[in-house]
Amino acid sequence: MKRFLLTAVFLSSSFFGLSQQKEWTLQECIEYALENNISVKQSQLDVELADIQISDAFGNFLPGINASASNSWNTGLTQNVTTGILQTQTTRNFSAGVTAGWTLFDGLRNYKQYQYAKMAKLASEYSLEQMKDDIALFVANAYLQVLFNKENLKVIQAQHQITLEQLERAEALVEAGSLPRGDLLEIRATAASEAQRMIVAENQIEISLVSLAQILLIEDYKTFDIAERDYDVFGHEILDVPVSEVIEAAEEERYEVKVAQMNTELAEKEVEIARGAYWPTLAAFFNYNTRESGAGRLRAAGLDPDEPYRQIGFVEATEEIVVAPNQLTEIGNPLPFFEQLQLNDGVSYGVQLSVPVFNGFATRNQVKRSEVNVLRSEYQLEQTKLDLEANVYQAYTDARGALKAYEAALVALEAQLLAYDYATERYNVGMTNAFDFSQAKFNLENAQSEVVRTKYDYIFKLKVLELYFGVPITDLKF
């Protein structure tokens, strides 16, 4: 039950426009809370983040492709990209390339990371459903509290009406001299006390309505109200089920156990991912690149008129001199941009193998940390089951006790009705005084209030037990 109280801290919503509905049913309150509650919305965002994590994990199977381009100006002593000669110049150079990389094998870490992401999403969905159950029960408890306060006011009002009738009769009898004035004063005191209790009861209704409205984050307290109807007591067949079966069903159906179990599986998967770092990594790569320069290109300018030919060798056997044309060169305009890109392009490709040898025990320590987390999550799972078992026993005992209290209150009410009828008969014939009659009426009022209190207390505790038994929150009948 502590969780239901703690959940109240996180109840909030982003509701800006309210309908003008004057009366809210319990189902409408629960649906509104589940739709607008910030804690639920945050849990829904966790599910969306889990979807993104799955997308990230799937993306690890795909190759990575990156494109780059740069355009730079160099001034001063720099290499001429066309001649390869260092010279003082101002040039502009452009380069571009596309690189693709694809991990072929990494110790199955990508595959296990993908499995981990899907499991993490399932855990987020379990947490969302658990949050919804807790909030729905908290809203139901606040709603039933309003109903109890309203029913309690009706009991007091009914008794007060009887008192007013007795007061009118007593005034007539006192004037006729048939009844002592002390009895009239006693009845007036009783009427005043009941009026005071009605004011207190009305305040309790207003406070409980404000509390429910705050849970739903409804700011218009004045027009907020609930639909009044009598909630029957039914569904007690679950109390005939052995508590061991309720515990077994709770361990299979309750989301807190599912979350703890999924956290254990996630921790085990983290160990597998960490161990994958012991394996070599094999990756393939491909690169395409090209370049262009604004520097002038070197081109032939004809033979040197002073020395058309120059010696390039000598044949000793024949004593012949080997000559070649002595071409003059000059710096011309650069080739067109796209022509240079076509002439200067190139590709590179291959595979790369990375074998882990020693990384300062980082991989080993990460594996050990993951193994410790597995033990921690297993302990947490065991503790969750123990807590659930204790909560089920408590809920089972509370529901049975609430049923007995309700049945006892009905018996007490029946007895008080007989006592009240008897006191009324004696008072009408003057065999008892107004004080004793007021006490009988006060006892009847307390018995009626106790029936109302135990009734709604039993209804709520029974629904808590049904929830542990695996009944969905949307199927709970009030």
How much is the average pLDDT of 412-429?
87
The pLDDT value recorded for residue 298 is 65
Mean pLDDT score, 352-378: 93
What pLDDT, on the 0 to 100 scale, is given for residue 10? 36
Q: pLDDT grade, residue 3 (50/70/90)?
A: very low
Average pLDDT over residues 77-96: 77
The stretch 163-186 carries a mean pLDDT of 80
- pLDDT at position 341: 87
d(CA 159, CA 437): 12
Percent of the chain, pLDDT > 70? Answer: 90
Under the banding of pLDDT at 50, 70 and 90, the label for residue 4 is: very low
The predicted model gives 285-303 an average pLDDT of: 81
Average pLDDT, the chain: 85
Give the pLDDT confidence of 97-134 residue by residue, as tens digits: 999 999 999 999 999 999 999 999 999 999 999 999 88
Identify which has the larger pLDDT, 295 or 362.
362
Give pLDDT, residue 83: 63
The more confidently predicted of residues 104 and 5 is 104
| pLDDT, mean of residues 420-447 | 82
Q: Between 50 and 236, where is the model more confident?
A: 50
The predicted structure's pLDDT at residue 82: 59
**What is the Cα–Cα distance from 431 to 44, expressed in whole angstroms?**
70
Of the pLDDT bands very low, low, confident and very high (cuts 50, 70, 90), residue 173 is confident
CATH class as words, domain 2-296+333-475: mainly alpha
Say yes or no to pLDDT of 249 above 80: yes
Overall average pLDDT of the 181-185 stretch: 81
Q: pLDDT (tens digit, 9 = 90+) per residue, 277-287?
A: 999 999 999 99
pLDDT at 6 over 50: no
pLDDT (mean) for 163-172 = 82
Global model pTM greater than 0.85: no
> What does the pLDDT read at residue 12?
37
pLDDT of residue 5: 35
**Please, which pLDDT band fits residue 1 given cuts at 50, 70 and 90?**
very low
Q: Which of 88-97, 148-157, 265-274, 423-432 shows the lowest mean pLDDT across its residues?
A: 423-432
Name which of 76-85, 390-399, 431-440 the model is least confident about.
Answer: 76-85
Question: What is the arithmetic mean of pLDDT over 375-389?
Answer: 94
pLDDT at 109: 92
Cα–Cα distances in Å, from 185 out to 164, 168, 174, 181, 339?
A: 13, 12, 10, 6, 117
Segment 333-360 shows an average pLDDT of: 89
- How would residue 446 be classed by pLDDT, with cut points 50, 70 and 90? confident
Q: Residue ranges per domain, the chain? A: 2-296+333-475, 297-332
pLDDT of residue 474: 66
